[in-house]
Amino acid sequence: MRLRDQARRLVQRLAGHRPSAEDERLVALFRNRAELKKELSTLDDERHRLLDRLKLQEGATMRVEEQFAALEQYLGRADQGYKSLAYFQLKGLWQAAAKRLERFAAELERQQKDRERRQQLAEFDRAKRARLADVDRELVEAKVLADQLQAEQKLGTQRMNELGGFWNYFRRRKLAETLELRALRLEAAQTVVTDLSDARHEADSQAPPPFEGLGLEGRRAVNLALIACAESLCDRLADGGIADLARQTTLRRVYETEYGDREQCLALLERAARAAADLEKRADDLTDIKARTDRLRRIVAYRGAADAIPTQDSIQPADAPARAQSTPNVLLEEYFDVYSVLLR
């Protein structure tokens, strides 16, 4: 019955009959029903996505809880207390060095941006002055020509007024043709003066282009200086292998490390504390960083012409001054989270 009613209404619509209020309500109901089904499908997809995220989060939470349980059990052992203190002291030293490298990176990037922006503005100013000089020269020439034509036109008009009588008819006719041609040239010359004046105003009021960020050479220079700074920090923390011990805290958990007995742990705590205090008090050795940067600039290689980060195997460690051991490859071993501060 319902199908028959729908067919009847369709025939009425095709015949041009105006649908009744009941038909309009029915059409609106079907339209709303389709929209609700679409919205329900969207909400169902969102529900499944959130359930998947919840499962992932539950798994991550379970892993963290297991780690906390293992850590609690580990810290509950009295013989492991000093080792834990040494571990977290070294971890704090690593984080302090990474934070220092991060501050150095921010300052280097700011300085390089200021330098490149000043260079961009200087080049823009030189190009602007050159454009204005060219326009001014053309404008002077156009004004001279327009003034000359205007003076000749004025003299020609006076001459025309002086030529009276029928016997000067042919002279007046020839002079009128000359005046007409000169008037056209004068109008063209004045148009050129106006156009050049507008062009000069436009060039003079042109704003500097926006700064679109560091160029490739600027990013490479900053990255090499950051690698050099990381090497310098490694050398400063090289006594007793403190730098490598601090790095191990990023690769192992506290209950996977071994620093010896109680006396050895206390000695390590003292060395780590001295290294942290030295790191806090002493400023960066900019002379040493510059020398390392110059060395890197001569030897590094890049994977592609548009890459700003050198390849790991091109970073040849320089021998640390007055030390038997050499500086590690800070890119290969990712010292002090150096990759997190390098500019892509």
Task: Please report which confidence band the pLDDT of residue 43 belongs to, taking 50, 70 and 90 as the band edges.
Answer: confident
For tokens 């390089």, name the residue.
112
User: Of the ranges 16-30, 179-193, 300-314, which one carries the lowest mean pLDDT score?
Assistant: 16-30
Task: Please report which confidence band the pLDDT of residue 226 belongs to, taking 50, 70 and 90 as the band edges.
Answer: very high
User: At residue 212, does pLDDT exceed 50?
Assistant: yes
Most confident of 30-44, 170-184, 202-216: 202-216
Partnered with residue 45 across adjacent β-strands are none
CA distance 83 to 79: 8
Residue 261 three-state SS: coil
Domain coordinates in residue numbering, the chain: 20-73, 79-116+215-340, 122-204
Q: In sequence order, what E strands does 54-129 have?
A: none
Q: What is the DSSP letter of 331?
A: T
Task: Give residue 14's pLDDT.
Answer: 53
Task: Give residue 7's pLDDT.
Answer: 56
Tell me how many degrees the CA angle 280-288-321 measures, rounded to the nearest 5.
95
Task: Give residue 1's pLDDT.
Answer: 47
User: At residue 310, does pLDDT exceed 90?
Assistant: yes
pLDDT in tens, 106-134: 999 999 999 999 999 999 999 999 998 99
For tokens 């090289």, name the residue.
238
- Residue among 210, 206, 224 at smallest CA distance from 116: 210
Mean pLDDT in residue range 67-87? 70
Q: Which CATH number among 1.10.357, 2.60.200, 1.10.260, 1.10.287 corresponds to the domain 122-204?
A: 1.10.287
Cβ count within 10 A of residue 265: 20
Residue predicted with more confidence, 266 or 123: 123
CA distance 314 to 299: 7
What the block records as the tokens of 221 is 């220079």
Task: Please report which confidence band the pLDDT of residue 325 belongs to, taking 50, 70 and 90 as the band edges.
Answer: very low
- Residue among 207, 206, 184, 203 at smallest CA distance from 195: 203
Task: Please report which confidence band the pLDDT of residue 147 belongs to, taking 50, 70 and 90 as the band edges.
Answer: confident
CA dihedral 318, 319, 320, 325 (to 10 degrees): 130
Task: Give residue 19's pLDDT.
Answer: 58
Residue 324 backbone phi and psi in degrees, to 5: -80, -25
User: At residue 80, does pLDDT exceed 90?
Assistant: no
Task: Give residue 266's pLDDT.
Answer: 84
CB-CB contact of 215 with 182 (8 Å): no
- Residue among 282, 199, 196 at smallest CA distance from 237: 282
pTM for this entry: 0.67
Task: Please report which confidence band the pLDDT of residue 15 belongs to, taking 50, 70 and 90 as the band edges.
Answer: low
Task: Please report which confidence band the pLDDT of residue 230 belongs to, taking 50, 70 and 90 as the band edges.
Answer: very high
Residue 319 backbone phi and psi in degrees, to 5: -65, 130
User: Of the ranges 154-163, 225-234, 305-314, which one carries the lowest mean pLDDT score?
Assistant: 154-163
Residue 319 three-state SS: strand
- Average pLDDT of the residues of the chain: 82
Report DSSP letters for 207-245, one per residue: PPPPP----HHHHHHHHHHHHHHHHHHHHHT-GGGHHHH
For tokens 């900053």, name the residue.
222
User: At residue 62, does pLDDT exceed 70?
Assistant: yes
| DSSP H or E run through 43 | helix 21-75
Q: In sequence order, what E strands does the chain have?
A: none
Task: Give residue 236's pLDDT.
Answer: 86
CA distance 177 to 65: 103
Task: Give residue 237's pLDDT.
Answer: 85
Mean pLDDT in residue range 329-333? 88
Task: Give residue 321's pLDDT.
Answer: 46
Task: Give residue 240's pLDDT.
Answer: 75
CB-CB contact of 336 with 229 (8 Å): no
Task: Please report which confidence band the pLDDT of residue 18 belongs to, taking 50, 70 and 90 as the band edges.
Answer: low
CA distance 305 to 71: 48
